[in-house]
Structure 1
Amino acid sequence: MTRPSRFSSLAIVAVLSLLLTSFISSPAHAGKDRTKGKVNYGVTSWVAGTAGYSISGKASGRKGRKVQLQVKWSDGWHTIDKSKTKKKGKFTITGTLDWYGAHKMRVSVPQTRRDRAKVFKTKKFKIATSWVPRGSSASYLRMSYKGYNFQWNPCKTIKYRVNTGYAGEAAIPFTQEAVTRLERATGFKAKYVGTTSAVPLDGKRYPKGTDMVIAWSHQNDYPDLVAAVGRGGPGRLAAARRKSNNKIVLDIKQPGVTMNMAYAGEYPLLYDFPTNEPMGLVLIHELGHAFGLEHFADDIQVMHPGDRSPALTGYHANFEAGDLAGLRAQGAQGGCLKPYRKRGRYSALDLSEIPDFTRD
């Protein structure tokens, strides 16, 4: 029986090693077809509430491939809309984007079993306000405790309820309009989930599945409302970290607003009024508090604590330049939050010592 030579054994080992290394180091897309295609972003600037995106394109591969529209936040790209390819790989994505400001957007086609992923060129979309914001963009102040800012997690939809109370059913569409204005200024997503008897000033937990309550109450029921048209604040807080930079923030858990209908005769249930401040202006002021903005001394800004300076055409419930900059800093662009998992300095006991951040 002839034995294999030492050199033959070494050659076999070398070949096997080469094959194994090649298998392990081969890229994930090995054997997949390269995705080809194009995209037309269409109109990329408009006034919020008047138009939306209408994107078309083509991607190679089988019919029914997923197509994603993504926006850039500080912690990376987030999918805001989806579609699928049809015949010959054609696709369309249509929808609304009413978040004020400039946003980097892109279309992405994920990898499949047969095809590689494809990311198309980034495009900047610009969404404008329907008015000219007044004042300086530096005119805002964020809520904080011991140097740590308050922040709503933008990866969570705000599920909110309305306590119609002393305002009646008219309070529902009126409140929904105010929340829409907040969404446009922050990039947050909100969903109305019904009515409730809860009142934020009670300090009690909200009904299950509710993140925020806006109540139309009266100072006869809640003495804390005396001399205040409304009061708003972030409610419960929890220590968290930003995914983008791991910095500690205080996660807003139970934002709320309580309006005082004792002032219904003085503040009409409108968003625009020629001679004095309407209730809508006070409501969006309180929503600013609920999502982490403090008072600021500039009387042009909505977040000014006293009587505001009217525009040439009267009083309008529009966020001004400082308000918009502050809400953008508080908004979705900062990225998602993650739990703060370490005990110690920011335990529940420490958080219970935070002062009340409800403001009028």
Structure 2
Amino acid sequence: MRHSSIAAVLFLLGIISLVCAGAYFSGDLRPALFGAQDESQVAGPGIFPFGQRRDPVPGLEEANAPMGSPPPLDWPSDSYKFLAVKGDGSPLTYSPCRPIHYVVNTDLAHASWQRLLEEAVKEASWASGLQFIYDGTTDEVPSNNRAGYQPDKYGNRWAPVLIAWTTPDVVPRLDGQTVGLGGSSSIALNNGYKAYVTGSVALDAPQFGEILDSPGGEAIGIAVIMHELGHLLGLDHVSDPEQLMFDEASWVRDYAAGDRAGLAKLGTGPCSKDF
């Protein structure tokens, strides 16, 4: 091959290399070469050490053993479902070695809210063995983007569970026949450990008031709160109409065998001083 031809080929290869390099560093070619980025690999909560994140001091109020235990089950039942499970198949839970603090926004609550809520919390605590502590009222309103750590409002700890009577204007998912919503937020540590640290329950104040004004309304109201506390602790809906966690309104007013079996498992998760 003539020297002029070799020089031309080398020049052309050089141009191609520069174009490829520019495309690579701009990100245009990387998906074609290596595949699109897997979003599951993006760092999330718990990937970085506590010193690099806005987290409370680990181990706050964590005892050396569970603070309570669920009662023995009268008969076995598998009529329950968990909202989230870990890689080993066990449910995501709160630590049983520390209490679950909660605050209440009562701005739109019925006058009897405290008696009803106390009864519902007592039943959820009894069935799960988890301990609850009432921290008083709050002006915080429910939010889809609620921060799990609010030191300016609640101090150097995970924000307490928020229980609020509200409206569909504030919580659009309460629109229609939905009377309540409940759920929790979790944290993942760099050692693979995951646990719930806080959560919220939102109750539709207008619908809740109508329930309380109906015959047997207080028992129904307590059952509604118990249902949402079941979600808060990690229970999902089930298709069994004999369970309180059934996904439609029913005659059930207490935790049934499946509900209790699920709550018992949620109350016996691992303890951890690391979060």
- CA spacing shift, 1:297–1:249, aligned 2, 3 Å: farther
Q: Match of 1:72?
A: none
Please give the secondary structure, in 1, of the residue aligned with 2:169. coil
Distance in 2 of aligned mates of 1:335 and 1:269: 42
Q: Match of 1:56?
A: none
In the alignment, which of 243, 260, 271 is matched to residue 324 of structure 1?
Answer: 260
Distance in 2 of aligned mates of 1:202 and 1:137: 34
Alignment of 1:91-240 (within 5 A): 100-102=70-72, 137-144=77-84, 147=87, 149-205=91-147, 207-209=153-155, 210-227=159-176, 228-234=178-184, 236-240=185-189
**Offset at residue 296 of structure 1 (A):** 0.8
Scaled by the length of structure 1, the TM-score of the pair is: 0.50
Identity of aligned residues (%): 30
What is the root-mean-square deviation in Å for CA atoms of aligned residues?
3.2
Distance in 2 of aligned mates of 1:197 and 1:218: 15
Q: Is 1:256 aligned to residue 191 of structure 2?
A: no
**Offset at residue 194 of structure 1 (A):** 0.6
Q: Is 1:273 aligned to residue 216 of structure 2?
A: yes
Distance in 1 of aligned mates of 2:204 and 2:216: 19
- CA spacing shift, 1:265–1:179, aligned 2, 3 Å: closer
Cα contact 1:199–1:258 (8 A) shared by 2? no
Task: State the number of aligned residues.
Answer: 203
Equivalent residue letter for 2:126: R
- CA spacing shift, 1:194–1:338, aligned 2, 3 Å: same
Cα contact 1:162–1:172 (8 A) shared by 2? no
**Offset at residue 334 of structure 1 (A):** 3.1
- CA spacing shift, 1:265–1:136, aligned 2, 3 Å: farther
Cα contact 1:183–1:189 (8 A) shared by 2? yes
Please give the secondary structure, in 2, of the residue aligned with 1:214. strand
Please give the secondary structure, in 1, of the residue aligned with 2:182. strand
**Offset at residue 262 of structure 1 (A):** 2.4
**Offset at residue 253 of structure 1 (A):** 1.6
Q: Match of 1:3?
A: none
Q: Is 1:339 aligned to residue 274 of structure 2?
A: yes
Equivalent residue letter for 2:216: F
Cα contact 1:213–1:256 (8 A) shared by 2? yes
Scaled by the length of structure 2, the TM-score of the pair is: 0.64
- CA spacing shift, 1:183–1:146, aligned 2, 3 Å: closer
Q: Which runs of 5+ in 1 are unaligned?
A: 1-76, 81-96, 103-127, 341-360
Give per-residue Cα distances to partners, 1:255-298, cap 9 Å, x unaligned.
Answer: 1100001213542279x938x97121111111111111111110
Equivalent residue letter for 2:248: G
Cα contact 2:142–2:170 (8 A) shared by 1? no
Flag the structure with more relative contact order, 1 or 2, with Cα contacts below 8 A and sequence separation at least 6: 2
Give per-residue Cα distances to partners, 1:304-354, cap 9 Å, x unaligned.
Answer: 11122x3xxxx52x10000000000000x33413538xxxxxxxxxxxxxx
Distance in 2 of aligned mates of 1:157 and 1:146: 22
Higher-helix-fraction structure: 2
